Amino acid sequence: MQSTPQRISLIAQTRTVLLEGMRQRRWQHELPGERLLSRELRISRWTLRAALAELARDGYLRIAQGMPCTILPRALRTKERVPPARRVALLAPAPLSKLRQFVSLWVDELRILLNEQGIQLSVHDAPKAYRANPVHALENLLEKHPHHDWLILLSTRAMQEWFQARREFVLIAGSRFEGIHLPAIDIASYAAGVHAAHTLLGLGHRQIAIVIPPVANAGVLATEAGLRHAVGKAPHAARVDTIICTEEPADVCRMVDRVLAGPNPPTVLIGAKGAVVLTGFSHLMRLKLRVPQDISLLSIEWEPYLDLVVPRIAHYELAPALLARHIARGFLRPAAGSVSPTYLTPQFVPGASLRRLTV
């Protein structure tokens, strides 16, 4: 029953977006097909059909089975224009379906929270904006989609520097780079790295390896820095090796083979990405190596599928709803000027993939 108001709210929001688009002559004679329109608005076809039915009932559209929806004259009367709602655009490097499941979960929560306050959330996947020189792509994006506010996800230093020079309100979902003064809602990645070091050292691990992607964001780099800092201050000799590896299964398997064949193989592998941990775990099983008896595993990020692995993978977890609430507050009470990031501390879930060694 609790989800019903959310669905009604999303239908009403979709109706407003469609009506505003028709009155701004975005569509003049007929609407695009359901498949194209639902993909453009990032909504389900069920929600789209419900909004179209309301517009037809109110005399804005004519719906005929197997034909495009015809826009009626009433929909183009600007004197009845509905004031545009405040809008927020989420900028991502790829469609949400191709990103972490955790991202999809908190974005869904955020959409609901903002919509309850009359704020529309749209998602734009723009891989060109994540290149080394994103200026042209970002300028085109803002020109085509003039939203009031922006939320940038997995952003690069170049992107953050470009937005910092603009006047639009921008909120970073994640870590900001040194010298950037934009507001940010961040996971306490450095603290997680420090905690991981103390946990592993306390279990007797002295050969530690952390696996990070080739292009690591600020959060991953902060985790690695926290891990190295804490291990470096330990009273006993310990070593941290950083291994660069993509999330491609073949690359992960090659990485595991190479690490285990080295002269000083690690006693614990830390994965900055959940997908790397899962693939690494399955490859270890294929090699007939046991977790944690032969090697321990730790995942810095949590994904729902990790809860299905036996033995359960030790990891750091943050509730998607908690992150969504703090991001929503950032738009409801935007701070002016340079502000300190809001850090959310993930919870350590011990799991059974870490073994205590005899030192």
The number of beta carbons lying within 10 Å of the beta carbon of residue 217 is 19
pLDDT of res. 4: 35
* Separation of alpha carbons 87 and 332, rounded Å: 12
Return the axis-axis angle of helices 189-202 and 218-232, rounded to nearest 10°. Answer: 40
C-alpha dihedral over 332, 348, 240, 157, to 10 degrees? -10
293: part of which helix (H) or strand (E)?
Answer: none
Which of 100-104, 146-150, 151-155, 243-247 shows the lowest per-residue confidence on average (mean pLDDT)? 146-150
Measured CA angle at 93 (ends 341, 225), to 5 deg: 45
Among 140-154, 230-244, 335-349, the minimum mean pLDDT is found in 335-349
3-state secondary structure of 183: coil
Give the model's confidence band at 3: pLDDT under 50 very low, under 70 low, under 90 confident, else very high. Answer: very low
Joined tokens for residue 33:
């097909």
For residue 235, what pLDDT is reported?
85
Report how far residue 100's alpha carbon sits from residue 320's, in angstroms, rounded to the nearest whole number. Answer: 12
What is the sign of the dihedral through the CA atoms of 212, 218, 221 and 223?
negative
CATH top-level class of 4-80: mainly alpha
pLDDT digits (tens, 9 = 90+) for 220-277: 999 999 999 999 998 888 999 999 999 999 999 999 999 999 889 999 999 999 999 9
Q: For the chain, give the mean pLDDT.
A: 88
Residue 198 has pLDDT above 70, yes or no: yes
Of 167, 172, 140, which Cα lies nearest the Cα of 156? 172
Rounded Cα gap, residues 348 and 318, in angstroms: 9
| 300, 124 contact by CB (below 8 A) | no
What pLDDT does 2 receive?
A: 34
How many angstroms separate the CA atoms of 111 and 325, rounded? 10
The distance of Cα 351 from the centroid of its chain, to the nearest Å, equals 24
Residue 196 has pLDDT above 50, yes or no: yes
Architecture of 189-318 per CATH?
3-Layer(aba) Sandwich (3.40)
Closest CA to 315 of 343, 296, 328: 296
Look at residue 5 in the predicted model and tell me its pLDDT: 37
Fold classified for 86-187+322-344:
Rossmann fold (3.40.50)
Q: In sequence order, what are the beta bridge partners of 130? A: none
CB 342 within 8 A of CB 279: no
Instruction: Give span(s): CATH 1.10.10.10, the chain.
Output: 4-80
- What φ, ψ does residue 149 adopt, rounded to 5°? -135, 160
CATH 3.40.50.2300, the chain: domain bounds? 86-187+322-344, 189-318
- Tell me the whole-structure pTM to 2 decimals: 0.71
Residue 80 has pLDDT above 90, yes or no: no
